[in-house]
Amino acid sequence: MKPLSERLNDRLERRDRRSWEDGEAQDQLHAPDRDPEVDELVTLARRLQSTSHLQADPDFASQLERRMLIQHAALSRKQPAHRCFFPRMWHMNPAPAIALGFCLLVLLLGTSMLVVAASITNPANPLYVLKRWEQHVQVSLSNSPTPQAELDLQYARERLHTLASLTNPAHDDAYRQALADLDKQMNDATRAISALSVVPERNRLRNELSSFEAEERHTLRTFLPQLDVPDRLVTTDELGRLGDIVPRLLSVEIVLSVRSSRHIIISISGDNIQPGAQLLMDGQVMEAQGSFHNGVYVFMLSLSGNQLPRNIGILNTDNTAAQTSTITVKSSNENSNGDGGSGNNGDHGKGNNGGKPGKTPAPHH
């Protein structure tokens, strides 16, 4: 039921729409919702209105109305209503408001950083670590092995596309890190696909993996002319792991001249060494006269000092490269002076493990 004030207003509005002589009495008699309290107040109002000495002066009423409106406007400016939850809570107790504001700020910044990190492709960017963490979480949340294998393959594609922007020599470290990430992601994808128990899904993803490996080989070969020698070495190693035809060194021998230790002959034997290949010494391309016979490349040159190279390799005409630190040093009278290498720590394209290239080692400069 409406309050008395609203019921009175309704009755007065109906009364204003009719004249008292023509309709009010009939309205009261036939109204379906007759209200004794309202009827009594309406009768009182009619009597007051008909009493002339109780009527307010029109000028006074108008002046009073203006003063009330001005006073109301002044009070509204001094005491604004606090209708928002957060400002009201701030005035009541600022500590929870501060904590809530901090949480909202962290949530906003965290979401924004994830959105920004998703578009980062340079491993040197600090947000790249956040992107890798996000990808790791997505793979971990994948309950089925099939989605996990698909995600691993997708991330490998993303890392391959990352390399295109890092072929500039100024990004050497970032390029090698991205290439190492690509190799790891490929291994993860291969293991995940091999672990699938559903044969149709396993065969489908194996076909996708084979197609992607062919794409990766083609893409890495297009990078080779833009890379410096150390990056060509690690890229060649990756091509070898993908089953591409790359040079592999089997043996390197340095023969010292009896007349001068600065005059040396370097013999390099191996597989897939192309005619016209250039000599590499400690990661640098050397101007040396060479001849190629039966898979053995022979170079004759004079050293600028007495220090022998620690690493020797070749750079093929297709820009693939191989290098090793396992070097045999002899004099020209065939008396061995011992080995001048330090094992296989600096080998790239060194024949081992049944002729398969090993994992990428750190190159020597």
Task: Identify the domain containing residue 184 by its residue range.
Answer: 127-233
Indicate if the pLDDT at residue 336 is higher than 60: no
Q: Which two tokens stand for residue 72?
A: 């109301």
Q: Are residues 265 and 335 in the same domain?
A: yes
Tell me the residue length of the chain.
Answer: 365
Q: Which two tokens stand for residue 281?
A: 């010494």
The structural domain count of the chain equals 2
Q: Are residues 203 and 143 in the same domain?
A: yes
Residue type, 173: D
pLDDT at 359: 39
* pLDDT tens column, 29-52: 445 556 787 787 778 777 766 666
Q: In the predicted model, what is the mean pLDDT of residues 216-241?
A: 95
Specify if 324 maps to a domain: yes
Specify if 88 maps to a domain: no
Specify if 24 maps to a domain: no
Q: Are residues 313 and 256 in the same domain?
A: yes
Cβ atoms 318, 276 nearer than 8 A: no
- The residues pairing with 254 across neighbouring beta strands, listed in sequence order, are 266, 329
Q: Are residues 270 and 303 in the same domain?
A: yes
| Total-model pTM | 0.58
Tokens 């101007």 appear where?
Answer: 287
Q: Are residues 271 and 296 in the same domain?
A: yes
Cα–Cα distances in Å, from 127 out to 122, 152, 279?
A: 9, 20, 40
Q: What sign results for the dihedral spanned by CA atoms 72, 75, 76, 81?
A: negative
Q: In the predicted model, what is the mean pLDDT of residues 208-227?
A: 95
pLDDT above 70 as % of the chain: 61
pLDDT at 206: 94
- CATH code at 312? 2.60.40
